[in-house]
């Protein structure tokens, strides 16, 4: 069943009283020709009366957040003024630190806004397909990750201005949204990867590394081909190369529920190493993907870990890195 605007575009006012209940929204943006990647990301924590939110912009010069061209991830800030779900909504709000979203067309167009600290962002995301829901799971720690989670391919356009220099943005993209308990420390390490090559071609996969091998197995995602989106029936994210502990090349082999097969090869373009949550570490990388007749299509590969797994993997050493 297709997601409705009532479910995907608005807060779930039937939330429970779990302190870790979260309403999240993420938009990817990039300037591929300049090897620039970015996110526009937020989590509302209504039962804690706070939120996490901010934009980021990085390039190939550094992987460290403190040295990005721009980074303003706010880990604990007050909710917007007013009543949750009444005076402001999931895609209709502005914070006191100048981070905001405005829905322009339900399930279709969203304006992203930020203006502070020498950085201005004004972008519009326009979907090219309906949102695709990943079903709830109880395994691999996902019971503490979400109750609803969806992705939606699209195109993002507009501009960002950093310290007086204007950067035009016009690229294919993806967004996601979720609600439910969000505590990721016990989630099995894995990969989150996607590409949107054009308005009719793309894929998304979430995969888990249950066996500590080079092959991480799909637990959700989609294939979009000729404008038709179908859920993945099976798939593998295979690590081909690493630079130390970081993945630099990935192969994707998958089949969707329509029987269509996907074979994609991706290579890292620029990477970030971030800890956005106290319980989570990850490499967040722009990737160039080859598949379905496209070469160098925009996308990402995100390899994520619980914080202690992340620390241990960094310290594992060359012999361990070569096996996984």
Provide DSSP, 87-149: TBBTTEEE-TTSEEEEEEETTTEEEEEEEETTEEEEEEEEESS--EEEPP--STTGGGT-SEE
Q: Distances from the Cα of 280 to the Cαs of 67, 133, 147, 187, 232, in angstroms?
A: 20, 23, 19, 9, 26
Query: pTM value?
Result: 0.96
In the structure, what pLDDT confidence band is assigned to residue 181 with cuts at 50, 70 and 90? confident
Strand partners, 26: 41, 176
Of the candidates 283, 318, 310, the residue with the CA atom closest to the CA atom of residue 58: 283
3-state secondary structure of 235: strand
Does the pLDDT at position 50 exceed 70?
Answer: yes
Q: What is the CA radius of gyration of the chain?
A: 18
Mean of the per-residue pLDDT values of the chain: 93
Kindly report, residue by residue over 309-323, the tens digit of the pLDDT. 999 999 999 999 998
Kindly report, residue by residue over 90-144, the tens digit of the pLDDT. 999 999 999 999 999 999 999 999 999 999 999 999 999 999 998 766 665 565 5
Kindly report, residue by residue over 216-258, the tens digit of the pLDDT. 999 999 999 999 999 999 999 999 999 999 999 999 999 999 9
Q: Among 17-21, 40-44, 228-232, which is the least confidently predicted range?
A: 17-21
Element (H, E) at 171: strand 165-181
DSSP-assigned states of every residue in 284-298: EEEEEEEETTEEEEE
Rounded to 5 degrees, what angle do the CA atoms 53, 12, 144 make? 70
Element (H, E) at 283: strand 280-291
Phi/psi of residue 66, nearest 5 degrees: -70, -10
Q: Are strands 70-71 and 109-116 parallel, antiparallel or unpaired?
A: unpaired
For residue 309, what are its two tokens?
A: 């797994």
């Amino acid at each position: 069943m297709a997601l409705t605007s009532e479910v995907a575009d608005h807060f779930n006012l039937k939330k429970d009283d779990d302190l870790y209940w979260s309403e999240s929204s993420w938009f990817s943006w990039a300037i591929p020709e300049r090897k620039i990647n970015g996110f526009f990301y937020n989590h509302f924590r209504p039962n804690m009366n706070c939120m996490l939110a901010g934009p980021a912009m990085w390039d190939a010069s550094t992987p460290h957040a403190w040295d990005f061209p721009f980074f303003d991830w706010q880990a604990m800030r007050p909710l917007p003024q007013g009543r949750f779900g009444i005076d402001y909504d999931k895609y209709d709000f502005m914070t006191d630190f100048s981070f905001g979203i405005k829905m322009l067309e339900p399930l279709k167009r969203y304006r992203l806004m930020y203006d502070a600290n020498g950085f201005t962002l004004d972008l519009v995301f326009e979907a090219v397909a309906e949102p695709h829901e990943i079903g709830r799971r109880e395994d691999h720690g996902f019971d503490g990750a979400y109750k609803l989670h969806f992705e939606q391919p699209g195109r993002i356009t507009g501009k960002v201005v950093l310290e007086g220099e204007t950067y035009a943005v016009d690229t294919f993209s993806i967004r996601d949204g979720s609600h439910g308990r969000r505590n990721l420390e016990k989630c099995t390490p894995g990969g989150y990867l996607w590409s949107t090559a054009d308005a009719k071609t793309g894929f998304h996969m979430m995969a888990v590394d249950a066996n500590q091998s080079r092959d991480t197995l799909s637990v959700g995602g989609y294939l979009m081909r000729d404008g038709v989106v179908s859920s993945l029936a099976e798939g593998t994210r295979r690590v081909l190369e690493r630079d130390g502990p970081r993945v630099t090349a990935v192969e994707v082999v998958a089949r969707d529920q329509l029987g269509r097969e996907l074979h994609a090869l991706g290579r890292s373009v620029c990477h970030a190493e971030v800890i956005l949550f106290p319980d989570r570490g990850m490499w967040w990388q722009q990737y160039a993907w080859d598949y379905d007749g496209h070469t160098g299509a925009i996308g990402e590969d995100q390899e994520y870990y619980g914080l202690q797994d992340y620390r241990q993997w960094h310290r594992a050493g060359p012999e361990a890195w070569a096996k996984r």
